[in-house]
Structure 1
Amino acid sequence: MEKGIDSESFKYWGELWFRKQQLNFSRSYSLTAKNHLKNINRFIGTQPIGHIKPIDIDNIIIEYAQKNPHTKRPTAKQTLKDMRNIAASVFDYAMENEIIEKNPARGRQIPKRAPQTHRRALTRKEQIWIIKMPHRMRLGALIMMFAGLRRGELIPLTWNDIDFDNLTISVNKSVEKIGNNFVEKPGTKNSKTRIVNITLDLAIELLNAKKTAISKYVCCKIDGSMHTESSWKRAWQSFQCDLNATFGDFQDNSRSKYNPHGVPKMIEKITPHMLRHTYATLLYASGVDVLTASKLLGHADIKTTLDIYTHLQEETMIRSVDKLDTYVSKLFK
C-alpha cells in the first residue's frame, strides 16, 4: 500500500481491491489491471470515493475514446470496457465494505463508434494451406484450428492429455510468461479444466505424430523441451515463411530463400488467435449451439461466445443480401 494516500480516495480503494484480487490474477493480467487503475487514477484517483458520480466515469470513457494519451489514437472498445469494469469492481468492493451505497461505474455506456477489432477467421483456402504444409509447427496449428486451444494451452499440452479412445483433449494447464520462459501452471486462462471433443481426422494426425514423438509435449522445441517465448516465435516465423514460399502468388517475384533481398511477403500473416477464431467459426458453421461452443472454447462468460456468434450471423446476413443483389441485378439486364 502506497503511503500518504487519503483513505477515502478512489486510489486507496483501488489498491485495496487490487491487493485482494491479485492472487486470482495471472502475472500478465495483474500488469494489465495495474495499468488500467493507473489510467483511471489520472482522473479520479485523489477524489473521495463517495463523491464520484456517473458523469466522472463517462468523462474518463469519452476522453480515452477520443484519444489514448499513450498511443495518440482512439482507444479500442474492449479496452474501454475493461477500464470501466475494473472501476466498477473497485466501487463494488467499497460497497461491500459499506463505504458507498451506489456504484457510479456500473452500466456506463461505451461509445458505439469506438474502434472494435474483430479477429479474422482463416478462409477455406488458408485452412487447406495449414493442412498441407509439412512443418514441425503444423500439428500445433491443427490443434489450435480444429480444437480451439489457446497458445498458452497448447505449449504445455502432453500426450497424456489426449484420450484417443474417446477422441477428447483434456485442457487442464496453461503457461505464464516470465521473462523469456514459460512456466507451467494448473488450470487454463479461466482457472478451469475443460474437455474438448476432437474430430477423427485430427485424432489420426495426432496418433501418427505420437508414433515418432521424442517428448512428452505435443508441440515442443527440437530437443523435446517445452517452448520458450523466443523458440516459439522462431518456429512460428519459420512456419509462416514456409507457408508464404509455398502458397504465395509470386508471379514475377523470386521465392528463393537464398534471394539476398529476402522472400517478399505474398500472404497475410496467420496468428494463433486467428486459428482459434477459425475454430469458433467452424463451430458456428456446423450448427453447434452457443452454450456448447462456449464450453468447448473455454470462455469464462457466455457473452464472449454470443458476441462472436452475433458477429458471424451479421456477416452471413450481409453475404446473403449480396447474393440477392446479384440475382436481382441479373433480372434487370
Structure 2
Amino acid sequence: MHVYKKPSGLWAYKIDIGKNPRTGKRQQKEKGGFKRAKDARIAGEEALRLYRNKGFARPEAVTFGDFAQEWLKSYATTAKVSSVRIRKHQLGHLNRYFEKIPVQKIYKKQYQDALLSLAKTLAPNTISGIHATAKMIFRRAIEYELIYSDPTEFATVPRPKRKIVDPDENVPAYLEKSQLLDFLETAKEKGIMPDYPLFTLLAYTGLRIGEALALTWEDIDFKQHVVKVSKTLYNPTNNAEKYELLPPKTETSVRIVTMPGHLEKVLAEFNFQSSKFRLEYKEMWYYPKDSKLGFVFTAPAHPGHPLTQRLVQTRIDRIQRLMNTPVSLHIHPHIFRHTHASLLAEAGVDLVQIMKRLGHADDTITRQIYLHITKTLATETAEKFDELLNKA
C-alpha cells in the first residue's frame, strides 16, 4: 500500500488488487480526499482487507448460513428458477446442522456425521442432491479464501445394501389398457376442450405434463410425424399468465417422439379447430416468444396462454367421475406416462427404447413397470407352452 500527498494538499492511498485475468497486467485501486495521512492509511488498510476477504469484513465471523445465502443469490443469476428452488430446499437441510457455525469451524467428520443423520429419514438420491449443493458452497468458500480445506471432500453418501428386486414389489400405478380406453372415450364424448387431444397425447407419447403444456404448434411436425420436445412449462402459482418456459428435466429429455397415426389424426383435427379460435380472437390471442402459431393446449379463460396443471387435474377428476367403469386408482397426469411405459413393454418394446422414448437416462420407476409387465408376459408364455404340449 502506498500513501501519498496530492497537489491539492489532501492525502490518498493506492493498493494492489492483483492482475487483470485477461491482460495479466497489474491492477491498482486509488482513493483520495483525506485530510491526514493517518486517515488515508486507515482507509487503505480497510480497503485492502475487504479485497483480500472478498467483501467479508471479518471472515472468521462468517457463518455457514450467511455465506450459503450469498452463494444462493449468485447461483440464482445463472440457474433455472426450478433449480434455484431445489437448491434452496436442499440448503434448508444443511442449515439444520451448520447455519450458525462459522464456515471455518465445519470439519470433515462433522459433515460426514450430518450425512449419516440425514440418511435416517431421506432417500439416497435426496442426500446426493444435498451433498452436491454443499460441495458447491464450500468450493466457493475456498475461492474466497475463507477456508483452505473442503469438508465435503472424501465424504460419502450413505446407501442401503442392495437387495434382490421383486418385480411385483412397489410397482408404480398405471392404467390397464381397458381403463385407459374407457378414460379416453369418456374424454372424447363428455370432455371439455382440449381434454381429449391432451390426454390422447399424454397416453400415446408418455410426455411429462410440463413438456406437453409447453408445446407450441411448431413442435408438432405433421410432415415428419413427430413431436419435438425441447422445453417444459414452469408455473408453480398456477396462474396461466405467469409462467416460464425452461429447458427440460435432463439432457436426455430433449428428444423427438414419433406420433402414432391415431394421435396424429386427433391433433390435426384439433389444430384445425384451434386455428378458428386464433382467427376469431385476432390480436387478443396470446402468442409466446418465438412462436407464430401459439401454444397447443391453451387456457379457456386466458386466450392463447398455456393450460395450468391445476386445471388439468380438475379435468382429469371430472372425467374419472364420468367413466363407465369406476377406477379405484387416483388418476393424475403422470399416470399416463407410467401407462405408456407399461403398454410399450406389453407390446414387446425393449427397456432401452422405452427409456429413450420417455427421455430417461435411467429411471427406477420405468424399470419396475417393465419388470412387472415382462414377468406377467413370461407367465402367460409358460402357460401357453403348457397348453400346447398337454392339450392332448
**TM-score under structure 2 normalisation?**
0.61
Q: What value does the CA root-mean-square deviation take over the aligned residues?
A: 4.0
Aligned residue pairs, count: 293
1:217 aligns with 2:274: no
Partner AA of 2:362 in structure 1: K
Q: What does the per-residue CA deviation read over 1:178-208, in whole Å, with 9 as the maximum and x for residues that have no partner?
A: 5332424253233764211111111111112
Using the TM superposition, give the Cα deviation of residue 317 of structure 1 relative to its aligned residue in structure 2, in angstroms.
6.1
Using the TM superposition, give the Cα deviation of residue 212 of structure 1 relative to its aligned residue in structure 2, in angstroms.
1.5
Question: In the TM superposition, what are the counterparts of 1:160-309 in structure 2 within 5 Å?
Answer: 160-177=218-235, 179-181=237-239, 182-190=242-250, 193-213=254-274, 214-215=277-278, 216-222=294-300, 224-227=303-306, 229=308, 232-234=309-311, 236-249=313-326, 267-299=328-360, 302-304=361-363, 307-309=364-366
Partner AA of 2:210 in structure 1: G
Q: Is the 8 A contact 2:107 2:151 kept in 1?
A: no
CA 1:31/1:4 → structure 2, altered by over 3 Å: closer, same or farther? farther
Partner AA of 2:181 in structure 1: I
Residue matched to 2:116: 58
Distance, in Å, in 2 between the alignment partners of 1:283 and 1:190 is 22
Distance, in Å, in 2 between the alignment partners of 1:127 and 1:267 is 13
Residue matched to 1:69: none
Partner AA of 1:315 in structure 2: H
CA 1:295/1:325 → structure 2, altered by over 3 Å: closer, same or farther? closer
Q: Is the 8 A contact 2:111 2:152 kept in 1?
A: no
CA 1:153/1:54 → structure 2, altered by over 3 Å: closer, same or farther? same
Q: Is the 8 A contact 1:144 1:151 kept in 2?
A: yes
- Runs of 5+ consecutive residues of structure 1 not aligned to the other structure: 66-76, 250-265
Distance, in Å, in 1 between the alignment partners of 2:93 and 2:56 is 17
- Runs of 5+ consecutive residues of structure 2 not aligned to the other structure: 1-54, 143-147, 164-168, 279-293, 385-389
Residue matched to 2:14: none
Using the TM superposition, give the Cα deviation of residue 164 of structure 1 relative to its aligned residue in structure 2, in angstroms.
0.8
Question: In the TM superposition, what are the counterparts of 1:121-160 in structure 2 within 5 Å?
Answer: 121-133=174-186, 134=188, 135=191, 136=193, 137-160=195-218
Distance, in Å, in 1 between the alignment partners of 2:356 and 2:382 is 37
Q: Is the 8 A contact 2:171 2:372 kept in 1?
A: no
Question: In the TM superposition, what are the counterparts of 1:65-104 in structure 2 within 5 Å?
Answer: 65=122, 77=123, 80-91=124-135, 94=138, 97=142, 99-100=149-150, 103-104=153-154
Distance, in Å, in 2 between the alignment partners of 1:117 and 1:12 is 41
**TM-score under structure 1 normalisation?**
0.70
Report the identity percentage: 18
Q: Is the 8 A contact 1:121 1:277 kept in 2?
A: yes
| 1:310 alignment partner, one of 338, 353, 367 | 367
Using the TM superposition, give the Cα deviation of residue 7 of structure 1 relative to its aligned residue in structure 2, in angstroms.
6.9
Residue matched to 2:158: 108
Distance, in Å, in 2 between the alignment partners of 1:236 and 1:126 is 17
Using the TM superposition, give the Cα deviation of residue 272 of structure 1 relative to its aligned residue in structure 2, in angstroms.
0.7
> Secondary structure of the equivalent of 1:225?
strand
The structure whose Rg is larger is 2
Q: Is the 8 A contact 2:229 2:257 kept in 1?
A: yes
